[in-house]
Amino acid sequence: MSDTSQYIHGTTAEEQSRLSLLNDLLNTRSVAEMRLHSERRILDVGSGLGQLTRAMARSVTTGATVIGIERSLEQMREAQRQAALDGEATLVEFRQGDALNFPLLAEEWGNFDFAHTRFLLEHVPNPVEIVQSMVRAVRPGGRIVLEDDDHDLLRLWPQPQHFAPLWQAYMQSYEHLGNDPNVGRRLVSLLVEAGAQPVRNTLIFFGSCVGEAHFADYTENLIGVIAGARDTVTNAGLLSPAEFDAGINSLYEWSQLADATIWYAMSYAEGYKK
């Protein structure tokens, strides 16, 4: 088990493409839950490709300061490239830095109105440390929003023949790295442990079915997120390569069924600094 964060999915071009697709599918629902309006200073921790960070920036008063922190230089550069292509090069300030050591100036601590993180806490062994830093970063009364996975919520129907052992091994690969694949159920507790006052929690639906316009995209994301962990799963001995590939193949077959359905939701919790 490592004491530092280990991102299971990598930062390859294929992974960046999957993340872009994920952003396209989920960002509107995330931003709607945040209820942003008059915030002047926003911090996004683990900003990745920056698409959600920019969506947050577009939701608030013109001239707001929005900072995205991203550990991966490759991800940050791609975020900057995409922002420039969209004519939004100055909308967000992207900073390279570790989520366990925010790259903030002394005078910036305690001055943010809103701090956010999504799909980051599942990739660190001690997520409360990040939440504590988020609480420290906001002003008294400032909001903290956590969004993350509880992988155990996923249900596919009809269940693909070889999927159950594949999904179990995928979740175990998080534990193998010292992380929590079901951290979503802990988000309110993490706010409390970090000294914040929780005020709201919900689930953001992230499922689909055959006949829905984006079902193929949801399926592509599901297969992509699992396939990207193949080396971690097989090198840890959680499944043999043949077993892993059988599970992936069963997903492709399942996706062609007339009643293929994905039931899933992302956990969301919100609190404020006392």
Separation of alpha carbons 161 and 149, rounded Å: 24
Q: What is the pLDDT of residue 117?
A: 99
**Taking the mean position of all CA atoms in its chain, how far away is CA 216?**
20
Helices (H), 63-209: 73-85, 127-137, 163-176, 187-193
24, 82, 78, 134 alpha-carbon torsion, rounded to 10°: -70
Q: What is the pLDDT of residue 165?
A: 98
Q: What is the pLDDT of residue 167?
A: 98
CB contact at 8 A, 28 and 100? no
Q: What is the pLDDT of residue 23?
A: 81
Separation of alpha carbons 74 and 16, rounded Å: 9
Q: What is the pLDDT of residue 1?
A: 32
CB contact at 8 A, 118 and 148? yes
pLDDT band at residue 262 under the 50/70/90 scheme: very high
What is the pTM (predicted TM-score) of this model? Answer: 0.93
pLDDT band at residue 21 under the 50/70/90 scheme: confident
pLDDT, tens digit, for every residue of 128-151? 999 999 999 999 999 999 999 999
Helix axes 73-85, 51-58, angle to 10 degrees: 50
Q: Percentage of the chain surpassing pLDDT 70?
A: 93
Asked if the bond preceding 158 is cis, omega within 30° of 0, the reply is: yes
Q: What is the pLDDT of residue 89?
A: 97
CB contact at 8 A, 207 and 263? yes
pLDDT at 61 exceeding the cut of 90: no
Which two tokens mark 251? 């997903």
Radius of gyration of the chain (CA): 19
Nearest to 183 by CA among 123, 132, 100: 123
Q: What is the pLDDT of residue 18?
A: 63
Question: For residue 9, what are the contacts with CB-CB under 8 A and spacing of at least 6?
Answer: 15, 18, 225, 228, 229
Q: What is the pLDDT of residue 5?
A: 53
Q: What is the pLDDT of residue 16?
A: 66
pLDDT, tens digit, for every residue of 209-259? 999 999 999 999 999 999 999 999 999 999 999 999 999 999 999 999 999
Which two tokens mark 186? 């802990």
- Give the pairing of strands 265-273 and 196-205: antiparallel
Q: What is the pLDDT of residue 15?
A: 65
Residues forming beta bridges with residue 70, ordered by sequence position: 96
- Taking domain 13-273, whether its CATH number is 3.40.190.10 is answered by no
pLDDT, tens digit, for every residue of 154-192? 999 999 999 999 999 999 999 999 999 999 999 999 999
pLDDT, tens digit, for every residue of 95-105? 999 999 999 99
| Count of CB atoms situated within 10 Å of the CB of 180 | 22
